[in-house]
Structure 1
Amino acid sequence: MNKKTILSMVLGFASLLPASAQDEWFIEAGGGIQTTFSRDASKLDFGKRLTPLYTIGVGKWFNSLYAVRLQVGGYSLNGMSTSEGLYLRDHKTDGMIYGTYDPVINHVTVNPDGTYRHYLRYVNAHADVMFSLAHLLFHKDGKFDVLPAVGMGYARAFAYRGSASTNSLTANFSVAAKYRVLKSLDVNFEVSSALMPDHFDGRITGKTYEPTLGVSLGLSYRFGSKKAAKPANSSRCLKRCGKRSRKAVVDTVYMVEKIIERPVYQDRIVEKQVTKKQEPYRLGSLSFAFASANPRSDQKTVFANIADYLKNNPKARIRLDGYADKATGSERTNLMLSIRRTDKVRNILIEQYGIAPSRIEAQAVGCTAQPYDDNELNRVVIVYALP
């Protein structure tokens, strides 16, 4: 699902909402603290994981029960990283390429156990549907209300202290407690969470989602006074909603046709190599069985030849490109399989042949590129000598 599809769904949903005499807009702003639950974040002291959170939003109550809100929030997140996993390089120069080297280590202090701080700067814009529990449960409008909300959004992590910029779709959840202090002014305390995809922090670890959790205190200002809503099933509303509904369906189908042309994980998988003046040359290739991350047993000669090359050329470095055949499995499954294959080859060269880790780069291609016409041959890690 891409950004255009999300926007189409939000606009389509808004067009289906019933019109009412309660035409009440509101704006809100708040600040607080947040933390992330990314892989290895627990290795950082909890106090150091807490970072500032700022939010600003605008919305509209369509009747006494629900509202639609557009909120923008974020600022910074602190996590921990290790040498395990794959890291996104700067896409402005290298394309969307994942490798085992994390540029963040050039900007932070690495601890004796191999862990190091991972800083992020980000913003998350999301559209939410909010509900009033006071009206839903008690059918009254008092000074206090609890407002759960759910929505979808878009997060942008910016290039900062070695972290590459990324784009992600998010799922957002929150619960806000509001207390009316003036006729048009509310104080609100909100607990919010966003589910970020695995690649949000520029690191692939195998987790499906990496959630955040934040708490904030803020103010909401309401324009206009609440009036009784018109019945949602009036003939006038049904006629108007019917027209909008048909338009929303057409728009949604159009966007679905668009996303068929673009794979879901296109923004996180290698499409092509960046051309350089001196091209790497192929040293050899290591083949794998179907769905296996272990090289075939007859590949020892290839390993020995690669190790001899590195020992005879002390300054030489190599790169491992991991592939999977596209005839079987989904793109995500094949991406993770190619990650495991490059990790396995890299570990064998380090542990069994004594090659220094700094001389080996690794990147996962998955199945978006196929070096051979035969599907079985694409279950491979190709080894290149770097210029």
Structure 2
Amino acid sequence: MNKKVFLIGMLLGTLPLGVAAQEVLKPDTIHTELRSDFLEELGDTTDLVVAGSGTGNWFISLSGGVNSLAAEGNRDYDKFIDRAQFSLRFNIGKWFTPVWGFRIQMGVGKLSGHHFTGGIYNIHDPLYDHSVIPEGMKPYLTEKNGHTWYHSKFAYMDWSVNLMTDAVRWFTKEKKPVGLILSAGPGFAHGFASRGVSASNSFAFNAGIMLNMNVHKNWDVFAEVQGNIVDESFDNHIGGQPNNRNRTIEGYAGLNIGVSYKFGGRKFARYAKVHPVTYESVRYIQPPTKVEVVQPAAEEVVTAFAVRFLIDKYNIEDDQKLNIDRMARYLKRHPEARLELTGFADKETAYPAYNMKLSKRRVDAVRDYLTKECGVDASRLVIKAKGDTEQVYSEDYRWNRAVVMRIIDNENKN
């Protein structure tokens, strides 16, 4: 019995020591805060650029303008511009990368045209043999140059799904205020019954070219030329004979001017296979063995993160500024901490002297951003430039186009 009491007493006596040891060994504040700030999903390539989650990079746009029908006989009666009618377009879409996106669009408007009948009328109406003039068409028939002309005007509605690409970003990775956007994709068009002819339907192919200008984080203005290719019978008339067409397609095209709203702006994340620079291990010195005075263990924390650059560049891209901002917030929360900035260049960029200057420009750019934009005192920064004399990442030489930021304490100043 006494033995049991003795064992229970020892167990209860050790509980405070266990609690104290847990206090000493809990994860350090620096590691935890940086982990919550910097942990990201990493991709498999140094050039993977993806859209953000949620509403990021989704957009809607509305535009208005004019378009005109290009069909058989029209050019013999008047000019393309003379047949211009009002049109309206609505789009919703998303950019997946700075180069590629998609949209779904709907267009409405009117089309007008002129064609001589050639004895063929209302090609879509099964009640006619196509040689009988419907009563509703007769008020819109006139004579000119020895031909009987029919003057059509009808409303239409079309839908299409487009693949989009910004041609400006084919040649630069930097964000530009002006874009040249090409689009193309399949669709469907419906012509409403009008002036004695029946409604018509046609599969369509839509293509366009847009000049886009960014005027605000969320707003763009644009001008777009686009057109639709449809079946020759879309305007209820075909050239040749009913069973012997002289061509198979016609179309309509026009110019629209409009505005676009981007939900959450247009932001992208560039991910890299850079796990060696995301974190370095955090090492702890074991707590003192003396039980009488329990003190927190001394800690040595070395945490590193890289600011990546494009080849032969030292300007900081927007996604990398976000990483520096996070580090600056950490420094403001921990005034005792200091930051070491080490610039690197890869050996493939140029010769050693040039690479040394490039790495110095890169580290100066990060220092200037921290001091001028983030308000970090320059005395808390340790600046180094290594050029290509050290290749800190051996897996892929491109990773060395970087400035490595390391948190150091006041005792570790070299």
> Taking structure 1 as the reference length, what is the TM-score of the superposition?
0.51
Q: Within 2, Cα distance between the matches of 1:180 and 1:170? A: 30
Percent identical among aligned pairs is 24
What amino acid is aligned across from residue 32 of structure 1 in structure 2?
A: G
Give per-residue Cα distances to partners, 1:176-200, cap 9 Å, x unaligned: 0011112211110000011011111
Q: Is the 8 A contact 1:87 1:204 kept in 2?
A: no
User: For the residues of structure 2 that align with 1:226 and 1:81, how far apart are their CA atoms?
Assistant: 47
TM-aligned CA deviation for residue 81 of structure 1: 1.8
Deviation of 1:161 (Å)? 1.2
The equivalent residue for 1:106 is 138
Deviation string, structure 1 residues 112-159 (Cα, Å, up to 9, x no partner): 431231112111111101101122222221110010000110100000
2:110 is the alignment partner of 1:79: no
* 2:188 is the counterpart of 1:157: no
Shift of 1:88: 3.4
TM-superposed deviation, 1:107: 3.3
Match of 1:145 in 2: 179
**In structure 2, distance between residues paired with 1:73 and 1:219:** 15
Work out the CA distance in 2 between the residues paired with 1:133 and 1:122. 31
- Give the letter for the 1:228 counterpart: F
Say if 2:265 is the partner of 1:225. yes
What do you get for the CA RMSD once the two structures are aligned? 2.5
Unaligned stretches of 5+ residues in structure 1 = 1-17, 234-387
Distance 1:196 1:231, change over 3 A: farther
Q: 2: CA distance between counterparts of 1:232 and 1:151?
A: 32
The 1-side partners of 2:252 and 2:169 are apart by: 29
The alignment status of 1:37 with 2:70, answered yes or no, reads yes
SS at match of 1:160: coil
Distance 1:187 1:85 in 2: 47
Structure-1 residue corresponding to 2:156: 122
Cα distance between partner residues in 1 of 2:194 and 2:84: 18
- The size of the alignment, in residue pairs, is 214
Query: Is residue 57 from structure 1 mapped to residue 88 from structure 2 by the alignment?
Result: no
Q: In structure 2, what residue type is equivalent to 1:40? A: G
Cα displacement (A) at 1:21: 2.1
Greater CA radius of gyration, 1 or 2?
2
- The 1-side partners of 2:232 and 2:138 are apart by 22
For each residue in 1:170-221, what CA deviation from the matched residue of structure 2 results, as whole angstroms up to 9, or x when unmatched?
Answer: 0011000011112211110000011011111111222221021100111111
> 2: distance between equivalents of 1:130 and 1:98?
44
Compare relative contact order (CA 8 Å, sep 6+) and give the higher one, 1 or 2: 1
Unaligned runs of 5+ in 2: 1-48, 240-244, 274-414
2:61 to 9, 19, 28: 28
Runs of at least 4 residues of structure 1 off by over 4 A?
230-233
Shift of 1:90: 6.4
Which residue of structure 2 lines up, in the alignment, with residue 216 of structure 1? 256
CA distance in structure 1 between the partners assigned to 2:107 and 2:268 by the alignment: 32
In structure 1, distance between residues paired with 2:197 and 2:271:
52
Q: Distance in 2 between matches of 1:194 and 1:85?
A: 28
Query: Do the aligned residues in 2 keep the contact of 1:119 with 1:163 (CA within 8 Å)?
Result: no
Task: Name the CA distance, whole Å, in 2 between partners of 1:204 and 1:48.
Answer: 21
> What TM-score, normalized by structure 2, do the two folds share?
0.48
Shift of 1:227: 2.7
Q: Which residue type is aligned with residue 99 of structure 1?
A: H
Residue type of the alignment partner of 2:262:
R
Quote the Cα distance in structure 2 between the aligned partners of 1:70 and 1:230: 26
